[in-house]
Amino acid sequence: MKKITLLLSLLVMITFMFSCSKDSTEAPGVSLKSSKVSAPVSADGITPLIIDGANNGGNRTCSEVAAVWGLRSDYFICGDKLDFGDFDSDGSYEFNGEFPEWLDVTVTDGIYVSFTVKNSVENCFKVGAVIVKGSNEANIYYYRNGTLGDSGLASPTNKSGKPAGLSNITFCFVECQPVVLALKMRYNFDPESDVPVSYVVSKGTPVFVTDNWCKKLGINYYPNITAFPVMDWYSNEEVGIATIQPMGSNLIVTVTFNEGIYPIQATSYLYSGTLEYLTAVSDCPPYTGWLKPASTEENVATFIVPF
């Protein structure tokens, strides 16, 4: 069985690969003449840019961010520009407005920003860019594929060698489409054996009309759901639960089987994508091309899903 350290290594590697693609200032559409590389780099590896704009005080808009990256002017859903200060004179700093209820924002030491998107049945959003202003300049953190969270964002570094204190922040959102998730996994009762005794499929909405194995395959939509059961194909008995947790630009899908049931990593598969692609074939889908677990540990299998 693979150890959990393998999961962590793979997650770091995936984050690195995505970060390398996202922080390049030479991506198609980026106007280098109107931007310059800045600091600090975020925890997710995003290098900020300082871009030109209409406001001489350094405030920038989501439409100006879109223009620099060659996007449509209405590509982003622009959040409010919220100022950060001691507005109630109680000695502590706060924002002068509210973020969407599905966005958690934390400021550390009056400088560093972290955020997490918590989608629900009612919404599916990612952060496409963050405008972090301090003093008379703003750092633009752009997420090419969108993200559900990051930390270590700050305004540009000033002459002191440190970022200026946060003065205001603007989030530029992108709406995401719910993703279809489905599982087919083989298991046994011996943690040291790779010989399957049976297999499970995800419970959910059935979409296939056939006499083959996929007639019992159920699909589930994230973020409409954050957990779903898995059942033995032959007995229809629920033998485990799959939970979904966002982490940066990935979803972590953890399948926990009942005690004494052990997933087989080499023959376990997770589908993530659109319903149209899943059902594009005339019969059951070719599941061996789906995502395999990043790790299995005892009765738990963990998948890392780019999202």
Q: Would you state the pLDDT for residue 26? A: 40
pLDDT single digits (tens) 124-168: 899 999 999 999 999 999 999 899 999 999 999 998 899 999 999
Higher pLDDT, 79 or 25: 79
If you search the block for the tokens 């964002």, which residue do you land on? 153
Does the pLDDT at position 235 exceed 80?
yes
Q: Would you state the pLDDT for residue 32? A: 53
Average pLDDT of the segment spanning 56-65? 96
Higher pLDDT, 85 or 17: 85
Per-residue tokens: 134: 């301090």
Residue 277 main-chain phi, psi, to 5 deg: -70, -40
Query: Using 50, 70 and 90 to split pLDDT, how confident is the model at 90?
Result: very high
- State the sign of the Cα–Cα–Cα–Cα dihedral 68, 163, 95, 127: positive
DSSP character string of 209-255: -SSSGGGG-EEEEETT-SEEEEEETTT--EEEEEEEEEETTEEEEEE
**Residue 266 CB contacts under 8 Å (≥ 6 apart), including other chains:** 194, 292
Higher pLDDT, 1 or 82: 82
Least Cα distance to 154 among 135, 133, 129, 173 occurs for 133
- % residues pLDDT > 90 (the chain): 80
d(CA 290, CA 270): 6
User: Do 290 and 269 meet the contact criterion of CB atoms below 8 Å apart?
Assistant: yes
Longest dimension (CA), the chain: 70
Does the pLDDT at position 59 exceed 60?
yes
Write down the domain spans for the chain.
23-175, 179-306
pLDDT single digits (tens) 164-201: 999 999 999 999 888 999 999 999 999 999 999 999 99
Q: Would you state the pLDDT for residue 12? A: 39
Least Cα distance to 219 among 179, 263, 251, 187 occurs for 179
pLDDT single digits (tens) 265-289: 999 999 999 999 999 988 999 999 9
CA 73, 77, 78 angle in degrees (round to 5)? Answer: 90
Query: Would the pTM of this model clear 0.85, i.e. be above it?
Result: no
Query: Using 50, 70 and 90 to split pLDDT, how confident is the model at 210?
Result: very high
Q: Would you state the pLDDT for residue 205? A: 96
Amino acid at 108: T
User: Do 182 and 137 meet the contact criterion of CB atoms below 8 Å apart?
Assistant: no
Cα dihedral angle (268, 297, 254, 115), rounded to 10 degrees? -130
